Amino acid sequence: MTACRHCGLDVPADSPVAPAFCCAGCAAAYDTVEGLGLDAYYQRRCLDPAVRPLRPDEDGAPVDYGAHVRDEADGIKALHLMVEGLHCAACVWLIESVLARQPGVVSARVNMTTRRLVLRWRACETDADSLVASVAALGYRLVPFDPAVLDREGERREKELLRAMAVAGFAAGNVMLLSVSVWAGHFQGMGPATRDLLHWISALIALPAIAYAGVPFYRSAITVLRAGHLNMDVPISLAVVLAAGMSLHETATGGPHAYFDSAVTLLFFLLVGRYLDHRARGKARVAGEHLLALAATAATVIEADGRRRIVPPTRLRPGMAVLAAAGERIAVDGRVTAGTSDVDTSLINGETVPAPVAPGTDVFAGTLNLSAPLTVEVGAVGEDTLLAEIVRLVEAAEQGRARHVALADRVARLYAPVVHGLALLTFLGWWLWVGAPWQESLLIAIAVLIVTCPCALALAVPAVQVIASGRLLRRGILVKSGSALERLAGTDTVVFDKTGTLTTGRPELMDDTAIDGDALRLAASMAAASTHPLARALVRAVPGAPVAGGVREEPGRGLAVAGSGGEVRLGSRAWCGIADDDHHSDGPELWLARPDAAPVRFAFADRPRDDAAEVVAALKERELAVALLSGDRGPVVGATARRVGIDDWHAGCAPGDKVVRLQDLAAAGRHVLMVGDGLNDAPALAAATVSLSPSTAADVSQTAADAVFQGDRLEPVLEALGVARRADRLVRQNFLLAFLYNGVTIPLAVAGLVTPLVAAIAMSASSVAVIANALRLGRGRAW
């Protein structure tokens, strides 16, 4: 398989521009750089029938794109499509550039994470089929957006890295054992014949492994070199290849020095880091998929004559009447026209207590109808729903965060050219100025490269990350992103969600000692017949309470049971006949109404975690700003904020409001750590500089977060911040050690005073020093 001339990735066999390029985007980018220009490229490659790739309707069943077009304001049409064959960032650039040049196009945005193309145009100037044809002519297939279609290419690359890591690990273990024998024999009189035999066995193991396992680094190095840039993979690839080549030469000529162990071991450790980083990046797409999985796959439409039919949500239109059965997710944004029930609205406001709904109440797609059937008048469907908006917020935030550049690569941009230039000057100086034979000059130059092999520099970040991640894992904190520690170290503001994050996320009965015991036991026995969260809280307050018989549940209202003197009710104010102004409610409540007895109020609260106030105080003590963003009501949020010591709090925040608040903080120069758990927190977790989520969080929030912590306490937030700051200091110390090592050994190597054996020992010593320094992170307090 050949490499793409533009990006260096493998060229698929079915590439429309094979064998030179992996995709049309790279071909266009290459031609543009070469001076051909995008317009000329489009004319030559796309409009010429001799070279134009087949359109989707020419090699398969036609697609009716018009059926998926949505009307927007001012005569604007919108179409959401999935791009098949999207290979790299050049594809995104090409598709957006070509569409932007079409008449009538208002906007065209491609999301690399989800492969989604959002296209908007003026209906009076063009149509969907013409625009789709302009992209299809580039060699891409466009289909209506379907989140169930997975990215097979990402899975293939992950498997490639895993195979390379396995091969390098097998070779490193075996070659290291042989190298120990050679090193021991060097000081104990091992004969040349035995040494050469061990070198040849090492070569037979190491060379195929280096050729196979190093492909991800070689490909990356070739790519950036063609683009006129440098990254860490360039010196790594050069050192590995030259070390392997020099070792083979030494082995073939009977020389005493071979460095197969250094080359293959370096590859193995770097592949471990590359594989883990790739898996973390792959989680970005999953966040959107988890959210989209909350959408209903079918909806029951109620016709005017009362008949019912099941249709896909894409066929729903505003004004239709849709039935939402108990236990189903609501398929649309709309308004309840018939029925009363309880709806799990945690997607919207993060609250675990279901919200009662009745005719006239607005409901949203993705929320769960719990108690009884509802008839909903359709207000918005598909891409116009609040659920789709949350997905778009997550995608946009993830794209922004993906621009983070690793610290090691930033250093390598300066380090790599200096090292390469120095090795070249060493070779030329010894050959042309000193007059040494070119073989000897090359040997000295290779010794310089071996001495300056970026083992210590390459391990400066991974070694600390591995030890830091291991320490955090032992304390119940799983770090999912390779750059999370670096971003955590720069945090100066911590923003908490309320329900399930600062609090336990489970309502508990308040002041149960002040409630009449008989009333409490009666209420608990009635509540035992219900699954409502507040009823469950009542049952927990009275362990062993018997289940009352004959309890009737009215969805959205409460419970009722026949008593000796009349009906006993437990539920909302209206259900129990309590006027709204009799008591002020600042939280969830239930009322018990009995004949000939005063009504009894049961107040509930979502209690803060045991160490919430202590953690907030510790954050403030370390000069970190602390804020609280919640979708709950103002009085409830304010009471929680005062209880834990947070002065900056905001209530009634929808998912988009949280994202806007975080963007405002970022615009003010703040580096924000977001800690949240609800479905509604996913966009904010993705938008923050860095994010944490408890293990009890929704799947989508755990996916969007950079780290997940276990347990019922918030102390892991302090631990993660403290370890990240220590790790940042150790990384910078490791860089200093690496540069000090090079500052001492490079002049000696350039002067020809360092033999390959000494170079190998010095290189290994620098790596050991870096690792030993990183190991300090595993001991002591985080702060």
The whole-angstrom separation of Cα 325 and Cα 555 is 13
Closest by alpha carbon to 460, among 506, 423, 406, 526?
A: 406
Q: Distance between CA atoms of 149 and 136, rounded to whole angstroms?
A: 19
How far is 620 from 639, CA to CA, in rounded Å?
19
Q: Please state, in angstroms and rounded to a whole number, the distance separating the CA atoms of residues 627 and 645.
A: 10
Quick one: residue 608, left, alpha or beta (phi over 0 = left, psi -120 to 50 = alpha)? beta
Angle between helices 215-226 and 152-186 (to 10 degrees): 110
The amino acid present at 685, given as its one-letter code, is L
Residue 43 structure tokens = 């004319």
Strand stretches in 100-140, DSSP E: 105-111, 116-122
Instruction: Return the structure tokens found at 387.
Output: 């659920």
Task: Give dist(CA 537, CA 741) in Å, integer.
Answer: 63
339: its two tokens: 């029925």
Strand 690-694 relative to strand 672-675: parallel, antiparallel, unpaired?
A: parallel
For the chain, count helices (H), then strands (E).
26, 27
Q: For residues 300 and 93, give the distance between their C-alpha atoms in angstroms, rounded to a whole number.
A: 41
Contact 99, 128 (CB under 8 A): no
End-to-end Cα separation, the chain, in angstroms: 51
Whether 162 and 296 have beta carbons less than 8 Å apart is answered as no
Which contiguous run of DSSP H or E holds residue 344? strand 341-344
Angstrom distance (rounded) from CA 378 to CA 375: 10
Q: Any bridge partners for residue 589, and if so which? A: 603
d(CA 705, CA 497): 13
Residue 299 pairs in a beta bridge with 311
Nearest to residue 16, comparing CAs of 156, 142, 138? 138
Specify whether the CB–CB gap between 395 and 383 falls below 8 A: no
Residue 223 gets the label, from left (phi > 0), alpha (psi -120 to 50) or beta, of alpha
Residue position matching structure tokens 């904190």: 477
Lookup result for tokens 């197969």: 260
Q: Are 89 and 111 in contact (CB under 8 A)?
A: no
Q: Are residues 287 and 700 in contact, defined by beta-carbon separation less than 8 angstroms?
A: yes
Q: Which residues contact residue 253 at a Cβ distance below 8 angstroms, ignoring those fewer than 6 apart? A: none
Return the bridge partners of 62, or none. none
DSSP H or E segment with residue 620: helix 612-621
Angle at 443 between CA 437 and CA 447, to 5 degrees: 145
Name the active-site residue from 31, 497, 632, 681.
497
Six token digits for residue 588: 């969830």
**How many Cα atoms are found within 13 Å in the side-chain-facing hemisphere of 336?**
22
Omega before 216 within 30 of 0, i.e. cis? no
CA distance 523 to 592: 7
Query: Under a CB-based contact definition with an 8 Å cutoff, are residues 222 and 229 in contact?
Result: no
String of DSSP letters for 39-50: HHHIIIIIS-TT
Q: How far apart (Å, rounded) are the C-alpha atoms in residues 735 and 716?
A: 28
Q: Is 606 annotated in the active site? A: no
Distance CA 27, CA 25 (A): 5
Would you name the residues annotated as active-site residues? Answer: 497
